[in-house]
């Protein structure tokens, strides 16, 4: 049976990386952003490239308070009267950054809970990162599932259980270990990135993926790549080699790797 695309879950990764993060998720009833680490002007331009209008947005889900995730949240929410969703700790931490949001636009979305937003069931889950209470999201609609998982130092068994066998992923592949170790970052920053509350390396991300993807998985985007300590080709090669080594059947799953897009990915149907 052919899919009725008006009823489908659609996604575009507009930006991913330390310069700004924002992902667009759309259903028949809701048009949402996950994070907005970009200026209002930039997000408007990126949405136009996928033939979407910023004025049609309904809300923003926030993962954590780091500036590359929340820089533009306040401006966009105030200008277009968008609902904003975050857990209580993140609200407190990001308020000085994003400014005042009207009470009627503020929604508490606590970690480990599922919230129905329009016709999408959104599940939140905690990650291990150096923020007050970082959480990412799994989107469910009509037996289809899109998972976002970046900004974590490791993937626990609990996290694997929540995000396994999704139809599509945005998954972290932040750095190449040797590039980071031999690079110019100060030692304290290298320690932060390599720690349990830092970021997944290409190898660790691919190993986690090998235990998570399943028969339903058709698309994987590698995200949050470091501009200084990674290469797109290296992230791609590491992931493909490890998934082949682990005999995941990657060739048969039509896994698509796209890394730290400078231009937004096309709007794809889950």
> pLDDT tens digits, residue range 135-193?
999 999 999 999 999 999 999 999 999 999 999 999 999 999 999 999 999 999 999 99
Indicate left, alpha or beta for 188 from its phi (over 0: left) and psi (-120 to 50: alpha).
Answer: alpha
Please, which pLDDT band fits residue 18 given cuts at 50, 70 and 90? confident
Q: Between vectors from CA 131 to CA 110 and to CA 178, what angle results, nearest 5°?
A: 130
Tens-digit pLDDT profile for residues 200-238 = 999 999 999 999 999 999 999 999 999 999 999 999 999
For 46, half-sphere exposure in the C-beta direction (CA atoms, 13 angstrom radius) is 26
Compute the chain's Rg from CA coordinates.
Answer: 18
pTM: 0.94
Q: Are 75 and 33 in contact (CB under 8 A)?
A: no
Please, which pLDDT band fits residue 260 given cuts at 50, 70 and 90? low
**Residue 1: per-residue pLDDT:** 33
**Residue 3: per-residue pLDDT:** 47
Q: Between vectors from CA 185 to CA 133 and to CA 260, what angle results, nearest 5°?
A: 60
Of 125, 10, 155, 115, which is closest to residue 64 (Cα–Cα)? 125
More confident residue, 255 or 46: 46
Task: Give CA–CA dist 8/29, Å, rounded.
Answer: 10
Q: Using a pLDDT cut of 70, give the percent of the chain over it.
A: 93
Please measure the distance between the N-terminal and C-terminal CA atoms of the chain and give it in whole angstroms: 15
Helix (H) or strand (E) holding 141: strand 135-141
**What 3-state class would DSSP assign to 178?**
helix
């Amino acid at each position: 049976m052919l899919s009725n695309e008006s009823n489908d879950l659609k996604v575009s990764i507009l930006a991913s990386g330390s310069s700004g993060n924002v992902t667009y998720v759309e259903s028949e009833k809701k048009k949402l952003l996950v994070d907005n680490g970009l200026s209002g002007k930039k997000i408007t331009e990126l949405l136009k490239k996928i033939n979407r209008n910023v004025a049609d947005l309904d809300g923003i889900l926030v993962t954590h308070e780091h500036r590359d995730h929340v820089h533009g949240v306040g401006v966009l929410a105030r200008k277009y009267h968008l609902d904003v969703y975050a857990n209580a700790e993140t609200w407190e931490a990001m308020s000085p950054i994003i400014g005042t949001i009207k009470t009627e636009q503020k929604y508490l979305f606590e970690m480990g809970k599922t919230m129905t937003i329009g016709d999408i069931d959104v599940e939140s889950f905690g990650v291990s990162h150096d923020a007050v209470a970082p959480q990412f999201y799994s989107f469910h609609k009509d037996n289809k599932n899109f998972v976002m998982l970046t900004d974590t130092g490791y993937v626990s068994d609990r996290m694997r259980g929540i995000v396994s066998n999704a139809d599509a992923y945005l998954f972290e592949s932040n750095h190449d270990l040797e590039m980071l170790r031999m690079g110019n970052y100060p030692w304290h920053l290298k320690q932060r990135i390599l720690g349990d509350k830092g970021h997944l390396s290409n190898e660790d991300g691919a190993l986690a993926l090998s235990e998570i993807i399943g028969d339903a998985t058709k698309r994987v985007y590698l995200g949050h790549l470091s501009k200084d300590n990674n290469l797109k080709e290296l992230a791609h090669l590491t992931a493909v080699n490890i998934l082949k080594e682990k005999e995941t059947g990657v060739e048969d799953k039509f896994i698509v790797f796209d890394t730290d897009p400078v231009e937004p990915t096309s709007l794809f149907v889950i």
